[in-house]
Amino acid sequence: MLVVEGHKHMAEVGFSRFSAREVAKRIGYSIGTLYNVMGSYDHLVMAINTRTFVLWTAYMQVRLDGAEKDPIRALVEGYFGFAHANRNAWTAIYDHHLPPDFALPEEHEAVRGRLTDLVVAKVAALLPDACREAAPRLARSLVATVHGHCVFDLNGSFRLMGEQAPVEMALDRVRESLAIAQGGGDLTEFVIDRGSQDG
């Protein structure tokens, strides 16, 4: 109940205006009771952000269903689509910084990792057999590329540059990267060098 209501509040106001006290008030708890249940403010926001990952993964899976001919387009468009439709909750994932000594619980890591697993599976399926071990690293680099394009789209940077098709731009970069990887080159070197340039 706390996480669901907290997620609604986060989606309404964004991380900078998020209030644990407001969440407690909405469900009739005191702020002390909320922290007794959740452990801390960071635990509450962590749980809310993990719920966003659950919703995001489900959204992406729907986009992938029936997209066998072009799953990469479905992934890129889905990334932008979810961010636009859930801007406040999505940006909270990146705006909330856990303390250095805060370890993300394994169950949260597992839930969040399902989204990356979707991407890795689709990337691996497009690579030559000899390169598939590098699929997770390549997938992370591609996600970083798409993420950067998505952030520039959301914050208006691309608009200031006069760019009218950021989704297609991101898709082009991903396809170029995959084409190089499919060529059977030194994929480890490619991920390090090309990924750093795009980032």
Mean pLDDT within 101-116: 95
pLDDT score for 66: 86
The string of pLDDT tens digits covering residues 71-97 is 999 999 999 999 999 999 999 999 999
pTM above 0.85, yes or no: yes
Instruction: Show the CA angle centred on residue 101, arms to residues 99 and 105, nearest 5°.
Output: 90
Distance CA 148, CA 146 (A): 5
Decide: 122 and 177 in contact? Cβ < 8 Å. no
User: pLDDT tens digits for 144-179?
Assistant: 999 999 999 999 999 999 999 999 999 999 999 999
pLDDT of residue 184: 54
pLDDT for 158 equals 94
* Alpha-carbon gap, residue 148 to 165, rounded angstroms: 14
Higher-confidence residue of 159 and 195: namely 159
| Lookup result for tokens 């949260």 | 108
**Residue 7 pLDDT more than 60?**
yes
Residue whose pair of structure tokens reads 């370890």 in the numeric block: 103
Cα–Cα distance for residue pair 157/161, rounded to 1 Å: 6
Taking only the tens place, the pLDDT of each residue in 30-70 is 999 999 999 999 999 999 999 999 999 999 999 999 898 99
* Residue in 179, 76, 72, 195 with CA at minimum distance from that of residue 123: 72
Superfamily of domain 51-198: Tetracycline Repressor, domain 2 (1.10.357.10)
DSSP assignment letter at 188: H
